[in-house]
Amino acid sequence: MNELVALLEDLGARNIRTYIRSGNAVFQSSKKNASPIAGRLTDAIKKRYGFAPHVLILGIDAIERAIAQNPFPEAETDPSSLHLGFMASTPMNPDLRKLDSLRKASERFHLSAHVFYLHTPEGVGKSKLPASAEKLLGVPMTYRNWRTVCKISEIASE
């Protein structure tokens, strides 16, 4: 995470804070548009480490909106069962039928414009949905569990 902080500093980010060893970083930037930062960070990681991850940068408003719009509020009491898949863009042709066919009876999902909400009461490791959702939605996505999303929001609000 120290190396991520250094890369972000090189890109002009300030007041950088990280959360666990998950690739999550909260920072401030004078840039209004985060897309160039994401692209430059991807390029820097590729140059330094030899792989190009998909970097997704969200504003605090997007995170707070995702929390407020949670369609499964009763799942918040078990934060490891509730996951938010933040998407790079709105899916144009999501295959919701196929996703539904992979779902266990106890599982639920909800697709909004930029978040794929997933509730897996039996555990996310036992679900087929996380491994297939990105492909079936047709957009790059990164998952965070409820606890992580709330903690990132808390850090960003400080």
Give the number of other CB atoms < 10 A from CB of residue 40: 16
pLDDT in tens, 83-98: 999 999 999 999 999 9
Average pLDDT over residues 3-28: 91
Q: Which residue has the tokens 């401030």?
A: 28
8 A C-beta contact, residue 19 and residue 151: yes
Give the pLDDT confidence score for residue 98 in this predicted structure.
Answer: 98
Return the closest-CA partner of residue 130 out of 99, 98, 87, 96: 99
Terminal-residue alpha carbon distance, the chain? 20
* Length, in residues, of the chain: 158
Arithmetic mean of pLDDT over the chain: 94
Query: Dihedral sign, CA of 107, 93, 71, 154?
Result: positive
pLDDT in tens, 106-140: 999 999 999 999 999 999 999 999 999 999 999 99
Give the pLDDT confidence score for residue 124 in this predicted structure.
Answer: 94
The residue extents of the domains of the chain are: 2-49, 60-157
Average pLDDT over residues 17-23: 87
Question: Per-residue pLDDT for 34 more than 90?
Answer: no
Q: Which residue has the tokens 């491994």?
A: 131
Rounded to the nearest 5 degrees, what angle is found at the Cα of 92, between the Cα atoms of 90 and 98?
105
Give the pLDDT confidence score for residue 77 in this predicted structure.
Answer: 96
Give the pLDDT confidence score for residue 20 in this predicted structure.
Answer: 86
pLDDT band (50, 70, 90) for residue 32: confident
Question: Per-residue pLDDT for 22 more than 80?
Answer: no
Give the pLDDT confidence score for residue 23 in this predicted structure.
Answer: 83
Average pLDDT over residues 11-20: 92
Q: Which residue has the tokens 């978040």?
A: 115
Question: Per-residue pLDDT for 42 more than 90?
Answer: yes
